[in-house]
Amino acid sequence: MPPHPRSGPPRPPTLRDVAELAGVSIKTVSNVVNEFPHVKASTRERVREAILQVGYRPQVAAQQLRTGNSGLITLAVPSLDFSYFSNLSQAFIDEAQGRGRTIVLHTTSPGRDEELNVLSGFKRVLGDGVIFNPLRLEEAEFAKMERTSQPTVFIGEHLPDTLPAGCDYVKIDNEGAAFDATSHLLALGRRRLAFIGAILTPHGVQPHSSGMLRRDGFLRALAEHGVAPSPHAVQEVADWHRQDGVEGMNELLERFGEVDGIVCANDEVAIGALTQLHRHGRRVPEDVAVVGYDDTPESEYSIPALTTISPDKKVLAATALDLLAERIGGYDGPPRTVATPYDLVVRASTTADLPGAAR
């Protein structure tokens, strides 16, 4: 009587299948898969051909048991609704793929509790290490920790000066970048300047929040150039979206209608501000010059094209992955902080004779 055919989906190819086809031991196949040395070139080639023929793919769980590493890195960002974070995530994915690693994306959009979940190391480990951009956590939460539960590199700007052991920090000089953006407007002869951005968090003022640092850079530039700020120079908004820029611009024009230059905390707020300036019949940059922050893809195609601070996302991703690889590899030194570069990209929202100016 013929055997019953096996029911259910076919099983995936195994090391044994590869070994039988290549005529070698399972150990030899494992050595080739894990790129161990001391395998003859001819044998290595035969095993690789067998791997292709049977369609074998190493399983992450099995790889982690053999080597201690899964090759997976968790990237936790606030939300992919923000253009900056979706573009930054792509930079991390591209860089990690070039290193033979895979990025697992995780968003903390549900809020503070989800950021606490990431900070505490998740309920279950999602890879060899974590790259984490916190946004809502108050600094006291970091102070409570003596050590991160797994290798961690923090990115972003919302972090205290003192960090727990087992981690590193890659940042951009937010205050310096906002200082440069403001100095650009001052060099163009603008003197009635304002800042629009999210300053307060749900837990009040936090000195290291991005909005606070960018506001401080704005005010420092005014002070160093001898320009007294208007009492209405800082327009706080609730969040970092386009609608916040629309609402903030409305309030600003009511209180400070003679404004002639605006530094926005990010590009999305700036694009909202541009929209509202147009609705009020204010020409950009002739009447009001506008600078954003992040150099998102939309900034180049806004009308007019937006002058903005451009963080070097590729360098940021590469630096964070370098530091994390060292932590995963066993480095246990004190926390390291690395500042990555940025540029001021000048476009038509501050200089009318550049391409992209409104006509």
Residues 181 and 304 in one domain: yes
Residues 260 and 298 both lie in one domain:
yes
Report the pLDDT value the prediction gives residue 249, as an integer from 0 to 100. Answer: 97
> Do residue 237 and residue 250 come from a single domain?
yes
Question: Which tens digit of pLDDT belongs to each residue from 278-333?
Answer: 999 999 999 999 999 999 999 999 999 999 999 999 999 999 999 999 998 899 99
* Phi and psi torsions of 247, nearest 5°: -65, -40
- Can you tell me whether residue 347 is helix, strand or coil? coil
Each residue of 38-72: b (16+ CB within 10 Å) or e?
A: ebeeebbebbeebbeebebeeeeeebbeeeeebbb
- Quick one: average pLDDT of 172-197? 97
**Res. 276: pLDDT tops 60:** yes
**Domain harbouring 26, CATH code:** 1.10.260.40
Residue 352 lies in a domain: no
Q: Is residue 26 predicted with pLDDT exceeding 80?
A: yes
pLDDT-derived band at 354 (thresholds 50, 70, 90) equals low
Which strands form 289-293's sheet, in the order they lie side by side?
Answer: 234-236, 193-197, 261-264, 289-293, 307-311, 342-345
pTM over 0.75: yes
pLDDT averaged over the chain?
Answer: 87
Position 333, amino acid: G
Q: Counting beta carbons within 10 angstroms of the beta carbon of residue 278, is it exposed (0 to 12), middle (13 to 18) or buried (19 or more)?
A: middle
Identify the pLDDT of residue 173. Answer: 93
Q: Which helix (H) or strand (E) holds 117?
A: helix 112-119
Residue 307 and residue 317 share a domain: no
Are the beta carbons of 55 and 15 closer than 8 angstroms? no
- Asked if 51 and 15 count as a contact pair (C-beta separation under 8 A), the reply is no
Cβ(271)–Cβ(222) under 8 Å? no
pLDDT band at 58 (very low <50, low <70, confident <90, very high): low
Residue 240 lies in a domain: yes
pLDDT, residue 33, reads 76
- 316, 167: one domain: yes
| Residue 179 shares a structural domain with residue 305 | yes
Same domain, 304 and 316: no
Pair 36, 143 in one domain: no
CA distance 311 to 329: 28
Closest CA to 270 of 244, 233, 235: 244
Whether residues 332 and 260 share a domain: the answer is no
On the question of pLDDT at 66 being above 60, the answer is no
Predicted pLDDT of residue 8: 46
How much of the chain, in percent, has pLDDT values that exceed 90? 60
Q: Residue range 111-133: average pLDDT?
A: 82
pLDDT at 51: 86
Query: How far is residue 297's CA from residue 313's CA, in Å, rounded to a whole number?
Result: 13
Burial of 227: CB neighbours in 10 Å, binned 0-12, 13-18, 19+: middle
The pLDDT of residue 29 is above 80: yes
Mean pLDDT of 77-93: 93
Give 334-346 pLDDT, tens digit per residue.
999 999 999 999 9
Q: How confident is the model at residue 268 (pLDDT cuts 50, 70, 90)?
A: very high
Residue 49 domain-assigned (yes or no) = yes
d(CA 307, CA 274): 12
Confidence of residue 122 (pLDDT cuts 50, 70, 90): confident
Same domain, 100 and 149: yes
Take residue 186 and report the two structure tokens written for it. Answer: 């001052």
In 3D space, the residue among 41, 40, 39, 43 whose CA is nearest the CA of residue 31 turns out to be: 39
Please give the Cα distance from 50 to 43 (Å, whole number). 11
358 within domain boundaries: no
pLDDT top residue among 111 and 236: 236
* 206 located within any domain: yes
CB atoms within 10 A of CB 352: 14
Give the residue numbers spanning the domain of 271.
Answer: 174-311
pLDDT digits (tens, 9 = 90+) for 130-172: 999 998 888 788 888 888 888 999 998 778 778 999 999 999 9
Assign residue 202 the CATH number of its domain.
Answer: 3.40.50.2300
Burial call 183-193: b when 16+ CB within 10 Å, e when fewer: bbbbeeebebb
Is pLDDT at 357 greater than 50 in this prediction?
no
**Could you give the CA distance from residue 289 to residue 143 in angstroms, rounded to a whole number?**
41
Helices then strands, each counted (H, E), the chain:
13, 12
